Structure 1
Amino acid sequence: MDEVDRAILTVLERDGRISNAELAAQVGLSPSPCLRRVQRLEQSGVIRGYRALIDPAAMGRGLRVLAGVRLLRHARADVVAFERAIVKLTEVVYCHHVTGNYDYLLQVEVADLPAYEDFHANQLAGLPAVATVTTYVTMKTLS
């Protein structure tokens, strides 16, 4: 990967729907070599995909919560069971395995606080090996 590839990736991170002609102009290439580079970045897995950024409130998910999860045990079977279960929950937008005070940090999106209370009590807390869940309600997102 060279500086031109990095420039292409920087532009695509900001606008994944940019036309190839505009992308090429911004990185100083003609369209054909630019397209070949993008295709190579896609085929090699550097570009893993493209997605739309949706306003969660428009989808009825106006409350964003960050939840720190600690597991009871760190046996491989418990970790695998937790990970298999957590990825099936549609309210969980992101799940990061982290170091520090928690084992996992989740981004959860639900309609409102009662919906989160229901999710926490009836789904999250009952997952395999969950010891504790610490909830942080997001007041504002800057980006």
Structure 2
Amino acid sequence: MIELDDIDRAILRALSEEAGLSASVLGKRVGLSQPAAWRRVQRLEEAGVLAGTRLDLDLAKLGFGVTVFLGVKLGTKGRVSLADFERAVSAIPEVQTVEHVLGLYDYRLRVTARDIADFERVLRRRIMTLPGVGNVDANVMLSEERLSGPL
């Protein structure tokens, strides 16, 4: 585990708000020179604290108006490995996230579709045909509030 100081935390805060900041702008925001800011960012990347940048797309504006969270319980754990299920479900482009969870279900999936009919197609033709799928529970997302910023 890397030791973080106040400047490191300020860098993380600034990058979590705007990941594409240049080292020059970042340095000005946290009170460092451009080279010092760049070295700090490199150190955070090498330590694995910063694991790349992420682009947030507005899915609704791209025509994907429905997001559904699926709880998936595998029905035949002995016959199919978790890795087989994970590999197969990760190949479905509409599946945005795959989370192996503890509780009522084995997996939680975030599925994005153009509309309910498109989601039904993905569910019937792709997800329900995956190896080992038993029970599936769906929750349609009505709205999403994002809490931005570092931990």
1:24 and 1:31 in contact (8 A); partners too = yes
User: TM-score, normalized by length of structure 1?
Assistant: 0.91
Aligned equivalents of 2:117, 2:72: Cα separation in 1 = 20
Using the alignment, how far apart are the partners of 1:76 and 1:49 within structure 2? Answer: 37
Q: Is the 8 A contact 2:100 2:106 kept in 1?
A: yes
TM-score, scaled relative to structure 2: 0.87
Structure 1 residue 21: Cα displacement: 2.1
The alignment covers a number of residue pairs equal to 143
Distance 2:65 2:28 in 1: 38
- Deviation (angstroms), 1:46: 2.0
* Aligned pair partner of 1:2 in 1, 4, 8: 4
Between Structure 1 and Structure 2, the one with more helix by share is: 1
Q: Which residue in the other structure is 2:24 paired with?
A: 21
Structure 2 residue runs without a partner (length 5+): 147-151
**Percent identity, aligned pairs only?**
37
Determine if the alignment matches structure 1 residue 69 to structure 2 residue 72.
yes
Q: Match of 2:33?
A: 30
Shift of 1:76: 8.6
Which runs of structure 1 show a deviation greater than 6 angstroms over 4 or more consecutive aligned residues?
Answer: none
Distance 1:66 1:133 in 2: 10
1:118 matched to 2:121? The reply is yes
CA RMSD in angstroms, aligned pairs only = 1.6
**Partner SS for 1:58:** coil
CA deviation profile, 1:112-140 (whole Å, cap 9, x unmatched) = 00000111111101111110110000011
CA distance in 2, matches of 1:33, 1:77: 51
